[in-house]
Amino acid sequence: MAAPSVKDLPKVDDNLKTQLENFSQSKLKDVETQEKLVLPTAEDVKQEKQHMEFIQGVEGFDHDRLKHIDTTEKVVLPNAEDVKQERQHNQFIQGVEGFKAEQLKHIQTDEKTILPSAEDIANEKQRQQMLDGVTNFSVDKLKHTETQEKVVLPTKEVIEQEKAA
């Protein structure tokens, strides 16, 4: 693979180019690198130890300690109740699947409109008149009145009776 020619290289902004050319390492600050070594906590060590013991226990398991067992499959037959329910369910499914819509009779639907009684109409009319009276009420029809507050003070005798009690 040949090196690219100068005209194929990307153009660098003149401002950036002058900054790179004028860069001086003496402007950098001296910093000491600090390496930090994080030690695991006691909890981390305990968990890792338990995990390693578990892994060793699985890896070192002795298969010869296992006993051979023959699995026996038991067939549970349905009781009479279950058989009866299944039979009814199957009959229902067959009835739905074998249904013939042609066997249905055509029926004309009669729509009946029930009109309200005269009493219902009168009640509704009375209610509507009451609502109209409230909504169309004119404040101009009211008369101006002045409220007089009368304070009745107790007599001397009543005060003496209350003191005695």
For CA atoms 76, 81, 87, 88, the dihedral sign is negative
Q: pTM surpassing 0.85? A: no
pLDDT bracket for residue 1 (50, 70, 90):
low
**Residue closest to 78 by CA, chosen among 70, 67, 68, 86:** 86
- Summarize pLDDT for 17-27 with one digit per residue, the tens: 888 888 888 88
CB 98 within 8 A of CB 90: no
